[in-house]
Structure 1
Amino acid sequence: MGAKVSIGDFAVMTSLSRKALRHYHDIGILEPTHIDPHTGYRFYDTSQVDHAHIIRRFRSLGMSIPDIKALLSTDDAAARADIITTHLEQMEVQLQQTRDTVGALRKLLSPVRTSTDVTLRHEPALAVWSVSDTIDVSTIDEWFGESLTTLHHAAVMASGVETAIVPGGLYDRELFLEQRGSATMFVAAPPSANPPEGVRAEVLPAAEYAVLTHPGAHDDGIDRSYGALGTYVNERLISHQGPIREHYLGGTASTSAAFTATEICWPILRTAAPSE
């Protein structure tokens, strides 16, 4: 044991305020060594200074109280290392999220340019293999990856060789409007083959679309591409309330999910028959 010091001196020695010291006492991670029964004054021991510094530093780094308790309550070096490593990994994730947010905000400062590279396309009826589900927007990335993997494996099994596929998706308006709705992932049906269990064979009906190609990943401003295409359609054409269609371009045989661009296909009504 060291010397007994007042809460005022201990606050100076540790850079912890009276409020913080009382809080850490109440939750049991830094208790005074003595409380005067008559005055209620709290006293600490100089041997607790290092303990207090550890708490302050880890709290300033965002470590949770339960993790700090676990860190201080164990003498196992490996257990301490695991707690610190886990917190470090969490901080790295948060740092990347902050960088992504800063990047997105910088893009919002740039002027919005409505793309004029919109084409009108007639998509003929197409025989496909598909996977459909009703999903929440919050789980769409997980569903997307799982569905694409299922269809890629099915296509490889049907053809017997690794082959690049151009997958597509259909997304009902409810998914955008209510954050929950029907989603379908599809690939062109391999010839003379039956789909495996969990994959459906169907024919997508012919439809008319206004099409804009979004370069890059979905998290790289695809919302602005949707905004540009929707503006173009509603200012120049007649929007149809059918599902939005996407085509995922640039994937390879081994990495079909690593596409480099997305064709966004907005359904429209056309009064003239397509010339193509």
Structure 2
Amino acid sequence: MGAKVSIGDFAVMTSLSRKALRHYHDIGILEPAHIDVHTGYRFYDTSQVDHAHIIRRFRALGMSIPDIKALLSADDAAARTDIITTHLAQMEEQLQQTRDTVGALRELLSPVRTPAHVEVRHEPALAVWSIGATIDTSEIDSWFGATLTTLRDAVATAEGAPTAVVPGGLYERALFLESRGRATLFVPAPQSAVPPDGVRAEVLPKAEFAVLTHPGGHDGIDRSYAALGIYANEHLISDQGPIREHYLGSTLATPTAFTATEICWPIFSTTPPP
């Protein structure tokens, strides 16, 4: 044991305010060495200084109170290392999120630019296997992954299944307007095969689109949507049909790991199909 010091001196020694010291006392992670029964004054021991520094440093680094409690109560080095390593991983993830946010904000400082290449494309009628649902936009990521995996499994077990497919999606305008609407994922139908339960066989009608390829996954795809929409409305005649997407670079083994997304904005026919 060291020497007993007043809460004022202990605050100076540890850079913890009186309010913080009282709070840490109340929640049981830094209790005073002695409390005067007559005055209620708190006194600390100089041996508690390192303990207080650990709390202050880790709180400054964003560690939660329960994790700090677990860290201080851990008896072996392995347990302490595991807590610190977990927190470090969380900090690194938050740092990457901050970097991504900063990059996105910097991009927003520039106006949406005219895309380098927009293709006007006639899509012929296409026989597909599809799964559709009416969903909220908050559900779309989880629905997308589960549905695409279901379609992959259906195609993979079909007789004469192709070794590679380009899955796609159809998104009704209500999803954008009301944050709830119809979404459909599809894959080209295997020849001479019957879809399993829960998968629908249908034919997508022929249509004309303005097409822009967005590289990578869906990060930043809102800017590509904006650029394509501006082009379609300024240079073509926009149709109000569903937006179509094609997911390029995926495989049957990894259907959600695509390398680019073709965004297909429906337009009214401008030229006769080839």
Considering the TM-score relative to the shorter chain, is it more than 0.5? yes
Residue 110 of structure 1: how far off its partner (Å) = 4.1
- Which structure 1 segments of 5+ residues have no match? none
Q: What letter matches 1:129 in structure 2?
A: W
1:71-110 superposed matches below 5 A: 71-110=71-110
SS of the aligned residue for 1:69 comes to helix
Q: Note if contact 2:214-2:221 (Cα within 8 Å) is conserved in structure 1.
A: yes
Residue 197 of structure 1: how far off its partner (Å) = 2.6
Which residue does the alignment assign to 1:66? 66
SS of the aligned residue for 1:214 comes to strand
CA distance in 1, matches of 2:210, 2:112: 20
The alpha-carbon distance between structure 1 residues 61 and 260, as it changes in their structure 2 partners (threshold 3 A), is same
Which residue does the alignment assign to 2:168? 168
1:100-120 CA distance string (max 9 Å, x none): 112222323345321252222
Report how many aligned residue pairs link the two structures: 274
The alpha-carbon distance between structure 1 residues 100 and 150, as it changes in their structure 2 partners (threshold 3 A), is same
Which residue does the alignment assign to 1:157? 157
Q: What letter matches 1:156 in structure 2?
A: A
SS of the aligned residue for 2:261 comes to strand
Which residue does the alignment assign to 2:130? 130
Which residue does the alignment assign to 2:273? 275
Which residue does the alignment assign to 2:247? 248
CA distance in 1, matches of 2:46, 2:116: 71
Report which stretch shifted further, 43-52 or 69-78. Answer: 69-78
SS of the aligned residue for 1:245 comes to strand
Residue 89 of structure 1: how far off its partner (Å) = 1.9
SS of the aligned residue for 1:187 comes to strand
Which residue does the alignment assign to 1:227? 226
Aligned: 1:177 with 2:174: no
CA distance in 1, matches of 2:199, 2:273: 34
1:192-203 superposed matches below 5 A: 192-203=192-203
CA distance in 2, matches of 1:120, 1:73: 65
Q: Note if contact 1:132-1:183 (Cα within 8 Å) is conserved in structure 2.
A: yes
CA RMSD between the two structures: 2.1
Which residue does the alignment assign to 2:265? 266
Residue 72 of structure 1: how far off its partner (Å) = 2.0
Residue 203 of structure 1: how far off its partner (Å) = 1.6
Q: Note if contact 2:131-2:199 (Cα within 8 Å) is conserved in structure 1.
A: yes
TM-score of the superposed pair, with normalisation by structure 2: 0.90
Q: Note if contact 2:161-2:191 (Cα within 8 Å) is conserved in structure 1.
A: no
Residue 65 of structure 1: how far off its partner (Å) = 1.0
Q: What letter matches 2:70 in structure 1?
A: A
Which residue does the alignment assign to 1:15? 15
- Which structure 2 segments of 5+ residues have no match? none
TM-score of the superposed pair, with normalisation by structure 1: 0.90
Q: What letter matches 2:140 in structure 1?
A: I
SS of the aligned residue for 2:250 comes to coil
CA distance in 1, matches of 2:193, 2:131: 16
Which residue does the alignment assign to 2:119? 119
Q: Note if contact 1:4-1:46 (Cα within 8 Å) is conserved in structure 2.
A: yes
Report which stretch shifted further, 55-64 or 244-253. Answer: 244-253
SS of the aligned residue for 1:37 comes to coil
- What is the percentage of aligned positions where both structures have the same residue? 79
